[in-house]
Structure 1
Amino acid sequence: MQMQNANWIYDTTIILYALSIIGYFIDFLQNNRKANRMAFWLLSFVWILQSMFFFQRMIVTGRPPLLTPFEGLFFYAWVLVTFSLLLNWFFKIDFLVFFTNVVGFFIMSFNLFAPGEDTASSVSMSLISELLVIHVTMAFVSYGAFTLSFIFSMMYLLQYRLLKQKKWSKRLQRLGSLSVLEQLSFVLNMTGVPLLLLSLILGIIWAYIKVQAFSFLDVKVISSFIVLIVYSNFLYQKVAKGLQGKQMVFWNSAAFLVVLINFFLASTFTTFHFWYD
């Protein structure tokens, strides 16, 4: 019965998510404030249902639901919804929510095809600890920050082109100023880097203690450190060399591509992060 309720919540979430994105899309094309408000409240309800699904799964499995591919992608989508709602609340950048949740909806839909074990069959319960949960949580939050930073860069590029073409409209105003978009992109990367660093440190400590097969030469471990190095270099270029404008967009796009490779491709070849097999 609990699993049937969870499936119902997930299916309803997908439908409301789609309706919310349609509302934001209408607003994007027509500057329709009624559609924007409807989309916002639908997305808020999506967040509530996601949270309910998350806690219900925690009750069913008896552990933090973060350790399977299905759970990891779901938590990633939840992080994106949470970040987009908070940033829109504080900075009133409407189109951020639209672009971010196109990504979030894709992840939720893709997640329907991910392995969804009800128990951590790939991970012995004896290996699950608070250290592992914190490691996984911080990693996904950092990925969420990097994703939003990339979206801000794309919005910067769109705004730059509209300004260059002198296409003055309400859409131009609602995208946000170039300086704000650039600053928020930088701040999110600046937040994501230390979170990822701490996540890797905790993950290494946990693996060294708990996993006999742990190796620094594992594909997932190496690719995670590459992500950290690439984004650290981005911050260095920004702070020390004044990286800005279209150069910032290029560097941030390249860095996010590395994140995608790490998240989706490297997990296929890893022998250490075996619960993602």
Structure 2
Amino acid sequence: MQDVFMTRLHEVLIILYAFSVLFYFFDFMHNNQKANKAAFWLLSFVWLLQTSFLAIYMMETGRFPVLTIMEGLYFYTWVLISLSIAMNRLLKTDFFVFFTNVLGFIIMAIHTFAPIREQSDKSAEQAVSELLFIHITAAIVAYAAFSLSFIFSLLYCIQYDLLKKKRWGKRLKRISDLARLEYISYILNVISVPLLLIALILGIQWAIIQKPSFPWYDPKIIGSFIVLLTYGSYLYLRVSNKLRGRNIALLNIASFLIVLINFFLIGNFSYFHF
């Protein structure tokens, strides 16, 4: 019972950590102080939980938790979070905190869902199953947000065409203004990209657990990283103002077509996706 309870707590910690990374990513892309504060307090709560787990573990074992690989990974993540919080408070290096915690999240996911942990076979199977559940859920939410972003870009192109041809009428009034359509489309992608990254990290971790010799050249994995790279390029071009307006909307529409190709076509050639 205690093993199951601790497994659940670690899973909650992973979810909170993921939300912290998401908020830091939003701040990184959009300089949003509210998102930065939310990310910091979530990260602080994660640190508090981790510290409590470490203290309980040391009291139970009577030693410092660095003698095994999994103990070392957990302590390494705790050090990363501690240093990132300290750097954030002392030096105000927010972007440093974001990149540090992307690494910390990867290590924490490996620790939480690795089968080497000292737990019963039943709780280990539950952890692996829930790892797959979180992977699928994050991917679906990311794809849903990509879909909404695509729709807003499509509306942008329709509105742009109506304005260019000076077709004033009820249809024009019912579609929002261009700036708002473009902004909402961008924000949805800001949310989707880190979610897809988290889904890929957890998916690869699940594949390693289930099939240690799984093929890294699997078409679905390659396709997913192409999607991530495409939308990453979109965000870079949008933030650097190298593409704006109709051009960035067209790029977003093309990016979503890659999502559809990856989901419906490339997925059929995957070795372990069903």
Partner of 2:163: 163
Partner of 1:233: 233
Shift in Å at residue 266 of structure 1? 0.9
CA distance in 2, matches of 1:177, 1:213: 51
Partner of 2:197: 197
Partner of 1:172: 172
**Partner SS for 1:129:** helix
Q: TM-score, normalised by structure 2?
A: 0.52
Q: TM-score, normalised by structure 1?
A: 0.52
**Partner SS for 1:156:** helix
Matching of residue 224 in structure 1 with residue 209 in structure 2: no
CA contact (8 A) 1:197 1:228 kept: yes
Partner of 1:140: 140
Partner of 1:150: 150
CA distance in 1, matches of 2:261, 2:230: 13
CA distance in 2, matches of 1:272, 1:235: 30
CA contact (8 A) 1:139 1:196 kept: yes
Shift in Å at residue 127 of structure 1? 9.3
Runs of 4+ in 1 over 6 A off after TM superposition: none
Matching of residue 255 in structure 1 with residue 255 in structure 2: yes
Partner of 1:30: none
**Partner SS for 1:158:** helix
**Partner SS for 1:206:** helix
Structural RMSD (CA): 1.6
CA contact (8 A) 2:224 2:262 kept: yes
**Partner SS for 2:232:** helix
Residue deviations 1:67-103 (CA, integer Å, cap 9, x gap): xxxxxxxxxxxxxxxxxxxxxxxxxxxxxxxxxxxxx
Shift in Å at residue 207 of structure 1? 1.1
Partner of 1:265: 265
**Partner SS for 1:167:** coil
Residue deviations 1:217-263 (CA, integer Å, cap 9, x gap): 10001100110000000000000134211211221121111101110
Partner of 1:181: 181
Question: How many equivalent pairs are there?
Answer: 150
CA distance in 2, matches of 1:231, 1:193: 7
Name the aligned partner's letter for residue 202 of structure 2: L
Shift in Å at residue 172 of structure 1? 0.9
Shift in Å at residue 213 of structure 1? 4.7
